[in-house]
Amino acid sequence: MSSAQQRLNQVSSHFSGKKGAAGITEKHPDDIVVTCALRTALTKGGKGGFKDTAAADLLAGVFKAVINKSGIDPKAVEDIAVGSVLAPGGGATEFRAAALVAGFPETAAVKSLNRQCSSGLQAIVDIANALQSGMIDVGIGAGVESMSSQYGPGAVTEFSELLESHPESANCKVPMGVLSEDMAKDRGVTRAAQDSFAASSYQKALKAQKTGEEKTITVKADDGIREGITAESLGKIRPAFAKDGSIHAGNASQISDGAAAVLLMKRSTAERLGQKIIGKYVSASVVGVKPLLMGVGPWASIPLALEKAGITKDDVDIYEINEAFASQCVWCVNELGLPQEKINPKGGAIAFGHPLGCTGSRQVSTLLTELHRTNKKVGVTSMCVGTGMGMAAVWVAE
């Protein structure tokens, strides 16, 4: 942590007089709060309910749901950040169009961004930072991905001779599955999501395109959850990357489609607008690790986010750690010494999917829903990030 951040934390503690969880659960007018966090269902890439639905259409649907559920006046929203990994042109054009279709006025600015698997969380943090600085008063951080239409060999371009000539640079394009094989020490089995997060999902008729025809479909729940799985049944699945490897479709994240969005503002703004506060953003961290060890990202980023928040790992009630692969998630959990019962209590990306740009924002909806359901307070969202990074954020449910 920088000396400036340490000093800022010291000054903040002087005002609150409380440390740890008691300090971050205090309420102040300048708190960055969440008044709505929801997502679409997540569906199987290439064969699920959204396989013919464009990413921007998913995004428009989730934007409309935010407006309807929160009751926010669309004119109050000043900026929208959308994380996406695979969208052509970064999604900048169609995401702006999706915001207009959803009902936001032309005064609402829109940007797209890509920090790979943490893109959705980075979008939220960017909005939180803009709120903290006073640049805007109300904003939305979102994430979306249509892996059905945009995932494949063309998602990563060939490196130039310049990039190939540097060993660490060249390692940035090594497939994640190979990295996970190298670090695999356990075969973690996720618990399947029990209720498809009905409280944070929404049911929406969407238009799908196939062979030039349009039809209306309704996707009510995640369709990637496997029923009746056991460690033995998963162990019989054919390895994906090496003939004698352990990484396969049963212990790696699913290729999926989906969108999620989080409405943020300062507490004073929420009270003025009559918005119901469901949670608070506390802190975030993003760090780099060796490209060949990209899966250890949560191990590096979670302690830093906790330090910035002024709490310890024991103060956290629930950790949402993205299961890019069971091996890397289990490794991070073990190395951090976190209780298994606090990790992804409703399941994770192995159970219901990992639409790359969506996951970081989806996790916030999942986390706040479960904190409310269990009457708990403090949560952390985190993920490893391709090319060797990790990101994490601390949240409080209200």
Contact status, residue 89 vs residue 113, Cβ threshold 8 Å: no
CA contacts within 13 A on the Cβ side of 310: 22
3-class state of residue 59 by DSSP: helix
CA distances from 23 to 210, 384, 385 (A): 53, 28, 30
Give the span between the Cα atoms of 254 and 43, in whole angstroms.
9
The dihedrals phi and psi of 272, each to the nearest 5 degrees, come to -65, -35
Of the residues 36, 329, 354, 358, only one is catalytic, namely 354
Q: Annotated catalytic, 28?
A: no
Give the span between the Cα atoms of 376 and 316, in whole angstroms.
9
Q: Annotated catalytic, 117?
A: yes
Indicate the angle between helix axes 326-336 and 297-309, nearest 10 degrees: 40
Of the residues 117, 329, 332, 358, only one is catalytic, namely 117
Count of CB atoms situated within 10 Å of the CB of 212: 5
Q: Which string of b and e fits 6-20 if b means at least 16 CB within 10 Å?
A: eeebeeeeeeeeeee
Of the residues 329, 332, 358, 384, only one is catalytic, namely 384
Q: Which string of b and e fits 78-112 if b means at least 16 CB within 10 Å?
A: bbbbbbbbbbeebbbebbbebbebbbbeeebebbb
* E strands in the chain: 32-39, 43-44, 79-83, 109-113, 138-146, 204-210, 213-219, 256-266, 279-288, 318-321, 378-385, 389-397
Give the span between the Cα atoms of 338 and 336, in whole angstroms.
6
* CA 376-372-301 angle, 5° bins: 65
Q: Annotated catalytic, 329?
A: no
Please tell me what DSSP assigns to residue 276: P
Catalytic positions are 117, 354, 384
